[in-house]
Amino acid sequence: GAGVSQSPSNKVTEKGKDVELRCDPISGHTALYWYRQRLGQGLEFLIYFQGNSAPDKSGLPSDRFSAERTGESVSTLTIQRTQQEDSAVYLCASSQRGTGLSPLHFGNGTRLTVT
């Protein structure tokens, strides 16, 4: 079956512009996560959805970042007024259950470059 799909795969934007990143999780997966990986660093947790509610937004780095999810389907991560430090690969993952016992299935990521 289809895996986690992310779009676009690459995005170059000018500093100060807004961007929207999209994630289509695996069908039937109730949990959805956003991570980012900046150059030379590990995966940084951003936000977690269980269904369409977000019980944990603790990883969002600033109020310029927001995310929403429609039901148990598509999620969008929005970054407003992008800054150069937002440049990273943004990874989406889904899992059947929102517990550490359920491995995450990752998409290929969106590489965001802010110039």
Partner 1 sequence: DQQVKQNSPSLSVQEGRISILNCDYTNSMFDYFLWYKKYPAEGPTFLISISSIKDKNEDGRFTVFLNKSAKHLSLHIVPSQPGDSAVYFCAASGQTGANNLFFGTGTRLTVIP
Interface with partner 1 includes 109 (CB under 8 A)?
Answer: yes
Judged by DSSP in three states, 83 sits in coil
- Residues from 15 through 54 that contact partner 1 (CB under 8 A): 31, 33, 35, 40-43, 45, 48
Residues written for the chain: 115
Judged by CB under 8 A, the stretch of 13-21, 69-77, 78-86, 88-96 that binds partner 1 is 88-96
Spell out a b/e string for 59-81, using b for 16 or more CB atoms within 10 Å of the CB, else e: ebeeeebebebeebeebebebee
In the complex, the residues that contact partner 1 under the rule CB under 8 A are 4, 31, 33, 35, 40-43, 45, 48, 55-56, 58, 91, 93, 95, 98-109
